[in-house]
Amino acid sequence: MKLMHGDELRLRYVGELHKPWSGVGHVIKIADNFGDEVAIELKSNAGVPTDCSHNFVVDFVWKSTSFDRMQVRLKPGFHYPSSRPVNSGAFFDGPS
């Protein structure tokens, strides 16, 4: 799976040094070729276990927008809007 800027992630703490915690945020920085760090901006920082650096789990939050659009177009009876024909001369100004 390819991670991109703006993707939504859920970060969960599952260790024993702090009570269980979960937060959702968006990717703001992706690692370069030399590391594997990812930076996310959390929607809320309430209860974040800032004293812990291990035992976190990251879940990708799947957005169904493109899937929903595809499903609508696959339903029987869907008709693509008609479009005007393209004048090929508008894009090619070479010899006829």
Range of the domain at 66: 8-78
84: in domain = no
CATH code of the domain covering residue 24:
2.40.30.230
d(CA 32, CA 5): 13
Q: What is the pLDDT of residue 56?
A: 94
3: in domain = no
54: in domain = yes
Q: Is the pLDDT reported for residue 80 higher than 90?
A: no
d(CA 89, CA 96): 9
86: in domain = no
- pTM to 2 decimal places: 0.64
Q: In the chain, how many domains are there?
A: 1
Q: Is the pLDDT reported for residue 93 higher than 70?
A: no
Pick from 51, 39, 67: nearest CA to 15: 51
pLDDT, tens only, 6-61: 889 999 999 999 999 999 999 999 877 677 788 999 999 999 999 999 999 999 99
Pairing of strands 21-30, 38-42: antiparallel
26: in domain = yes
